[in-house]
Chains A and B, each alone.
Chain A
């Protein structure tokens, strides 16, 4: 419980820091978003219109602390401003449109890659020196060495353009309406297969090799030999004694991989014109859409922190030593 509160306190503190940084950084830039927007309109806006836009965007020239509290209030009530690019669509609605695409595509792929990679790593380490151990790491490493955007382009060309097996772009077909209906879901899954495959190929090797190497170390530990000697069944020996310990260092990598999901696979989403956060972020940056960039950064930072918190909790569950150290520190 103390460990939990400790971690929770840390989460709140770092959330506050992220939010505050997100407030300060844009204000360090010269000008303000309204001026940037007017500059885009080539200055054809009169001062009263500027005032109106400033209000619309939630800008004020009040003292910083006032702005800060206003910003915090807006943040909590979901008023994150409006996008320039898609003015006057609100940032929140843009993000909430693109977030599910990224989370579902990359979340599912990452979880599959972690589970499959870890299991394969455990098994080839157990049968060390076997055929699978000699072949799989090399083949998957080859997959990781291929730049994913290039593999993506090749896949689009070969499976999309030449053979028409898979769609070449977008998250779903034009003929379906988004929502919880079967045609849309099938179409979305169909569209996600190629990008999912590319992400999977690019990341699986890391999980296999990482887990395999951790397992090798753990299998040499005395407690594994001791457990083998005392007659523990093989399955339990592999999973409860060896893999359970080998998994602990992997958790950190899993946390990093999960937090980077929200940042999106920018290149992959770009190549497949996939309507996720990564694609949105590139568009926002190239069109200097500050509120949208700010909103996306905030979402990315917050998710990363929350996922880290969850993994910390998981760590505490899996490793009794961490639980105690955390509680006493």
Chain B
């Protein structure tokens, strides 16, 4: 995988919202790479900056959000160097996004077919309407919806079907990367499961990379091959998902998340939460942003922000590993 050229490269990315009281950083110095045909999970609690990151990659930030630092490259192309016109062509043909809200991502007054055709015909000037229609049918079959629903309006479809349509639109132009921003949050668990299976199947069939944004830890751990964990706008750990268990050493926040997962098969279920509250982005704690909630916090955590370190196959941003692990790795 490592010798492949990455589909997505995020370098030192910082994004801030302009507010009355100055800049509030929602994303801070983030580095992340996604390789072809790889599913990477991006996990974080509400307000950790994961959705902002998704919108930043798509260059869909609105109004008062600005990229203050860093680059986003898709297939080596810096997304923020494109002109508006180039961006319109580039977006969706190279990268696409499935939105959080299955219910509201489709235009209520247009048939499903028109909305799929819009994506196709806006990019493929050489495509005839007939070819586009054929492709739309193909896409519907790919996401397992009867093509007769092409003539349906969104309100005539169930939530799960709507999300499948959105996925069909996302993969219409065979993008190299599809960002999925909590694609199953609005759906019930049974539908969630079938959509996830679908996503995995289509991903294997068609072949594209997925950046899967979610707050559902166990769901992402199952789907993705690598998981990036965000806290207060920083990626504090990137880890292969098969190492996501308590036998491995993790960032204390990851450890807290792992302890919070109930095991259905366990005799007596003990769930441990993480104490404290998510940090206020306007007033981040000094040093490591997690230190007020961290059971292992020491003096240095309050003063110095930890560097990112390789711990085995993992990348962890924590002082706990700085001395001993560094020595063993260098």
Stretch touching chain B among A185-193, A202-210, A229-237, A288-296: A229-237
Q: How many residues of A contact B (CB 8 A)?
A: 23
A40 CB within 8 Å of chain B: no
Asked if B92 and A229 sit within 8 Å, CB to CB, the answer is yes
Q: What is the chain A residue whose CB lies nearest that of B123?
A: A231
Specify which of A222, A227, A228, A321 is in contact with B155 (CB 8 Å cutoff). A321
Least Cβ–Cβ distance between A306 and chain B, in angstroms: 25
Q: A223-B104, A232-B118 are in contact. Are A324 and B99 (CB under 8 A)?
A: no
Q: What is the chain A residue whose CB lies nearest that of B170?
A: A230
Specify which of A226, A241, A321 is in contact with B166 (CB 8 Å cutoff). A226
Q: A222-B99, A223-B105 are in contact. Are A231 and B122 (CB under 8 A)?
A: yes
- Residues of chain B lying within 8 A (CB to CB) of residue A241: 107, 110
The CB with the most chain B CB atoms within 10 A, among A221, A236, A245, A320, is that of A320
Q: How far is the CA of A290 from the CA of B125 in the complex (A)?
A: 68
Asked if A230 and B105 sit within 8 Å, CB to CB, the answer is no
Asked if A228 and B169 sit within 8 Å, CB to CB, the answer is no
- Residues of chain A lying within 8 A (CB to CB) of residue B153: 320-321
Asked if A228 and B60 sit within 8 Å, CB to CB, the answer is yes
Q: How far is the CA of A245 from the CA of B104 in the complex (A)?
A: 13
Q: Which of B73-98 contact A (CB under 8 A)?
A: 88-89, 91-93, 96-97
A319 CB within 8 Å of chain B: yes
Asked if A320 and B119 sit within 8 Å, CB to CB, the answer is no
- Residues of chain B lying within 8 A (CB to CB) of residue A232: 118-119, 122
A318 CB within 8 Å of chain B: yes
Asked if A222 and B104 sit within 8 Å, CB to CB, the answer is yes
Q: Which of B35-93 contact A (CB under 8 A)?
A: 58, 60, 62, 88-89, 91-93
Asked if B97 and A229 sit within 8 Å, CB to CB, the answer is yes
Q: How far is the CA of A318 from the CA of B101 in the complex (A)?
A: 24
Least Cβ–Cβ distance between B74 and chain A, in angstroms: 14
Q: What is the chain B residue whose CB lies nearest that of A128?
A: B63
Specify which of A225, A233, A320 is in contact with B60 (CB 8 Å cutoff). A225
Q: How far is the CA of A223 from the CA of B102 in the complex (A)?
A: 10
- Residues of chain A lying within 8 A (CB to CB) of residue B166: 226
- Residues of chain A lying within 8 A (CB to CB) of residue B106: 223, 226
Specify which of A221, A228, A244, A324 is in contact with B104 (CB 8 Å cutoff). A221
Q: How many residues of B contact A (CB 8 A)?
A: 31
B156 CB within 8 Å of chain A: yes
Asked if A245 and B109 sit within 8 Å, CB to CB, the answer is yes
Interface string of A56-76 (1 = CB under 8 A from B): 000000000000000000000
- Residues of chain A lying within 8 A (CB to CB) of residue B118: 227, 230, 232, 236
A253 CB within 8 Å of chain B: no
Least Cβ–Cβ distance between B149 and chain A, in angstroms: 14
A240 CB within 8 Å of chain B: yes
- Residues of chain B lying within 8 A (CB to CB) of residue A225: 60, 62, 99
B312 CB within 8 Å of chain A: no
B108 CB within 8 Å of chain A: yes
Q: How far is the CA of A240 from the CA of B106 in the complex (A)?
A: 12
Q: How far is the CA of A227 from the CA of B119 in the complex (A)?
A: 8
Least Cβ–Cβ distance between A253 and chain B, in angstroms: 18
- Residues of chain A lying within 8 A (CB to CB) of residue B60: 225, 228-229
Q: How far is the CA of A230 from the CA of B107 in the complex (A)?
A: 13
Asked if A230 and B96 sit within 8 Å, CB to CB, the answer is yes
Least Cβ–Cβ distance between A42 and chain B, in angstroms: 65
- Residues of chain A lying within 8 A (CB to CB) of residue B172: 230
Q: How far is the CA of A88 from the CA of B109 in the complex (A)?
A: 55
Asked if A231 and B109 sit within 8 Å, CB to CB, the answer is no
Least Cβ–Cβ distance between A56 and chain B, in angstroms: 56
Asked if B122 and A229 sit within 8 Å, CB to CB, the answer is no
The CB with the most chain A CB atoms within 10 A, among B89, B106, B172, is that of B106
Least Cβ–Cβ distance between A307 and chain B, in angstroms: 22
Q: A240-B110, A321-B155 are in contact. Are A231 and B91 (CB under 8 A)?
A: yes
Specify which of B89, B91, B108, B115 is in contact with A229 (CB 8 Å cutoff). B91
- Residues of chain B lying within 8 A (CB to CB) of residue A230: 91-92, 96, 118-119, 122, 169, 172
Q: How far is the CA of A225 from the CA of B63 in the complex (A)?
A: 13
- Residues of chain B lying within 8 A (CB to CB) of residue A221: 104
Q: How far is the CA of A227 from the CA of B60 in the complex (A)?
A: 11
Q: What is the chain B residue whose CB lies nearest that of A223?
A: B107
- B-side residues, CB < 8 A to A, are 58, 60, 62, 88-89, 91-93, 96-97, 99-101, 104-110, 115, 118-119, 122-123, 153, 155-156, 166, 169, 172
Q: 8 A-B residue contacts at CB 8 Å?
A: A226-B169, A230-B119, A230-B122, A245-B107, A248-B109, A319-B109, A320-B153, A324-B156
- The 10 A-B pairs with the shortest beta carbon distances in the complex, nearest first, are A230-B119, A231-B122, A222-B104, A320-B153, A223-B107, A226-B105, A222-B105, A231-B92, A230-B92, A231-B88
- A-side residues, CB < 8 A to B, are 221-223, 225-233, 236, 240-241, 244-245, 248, 318-321, 324
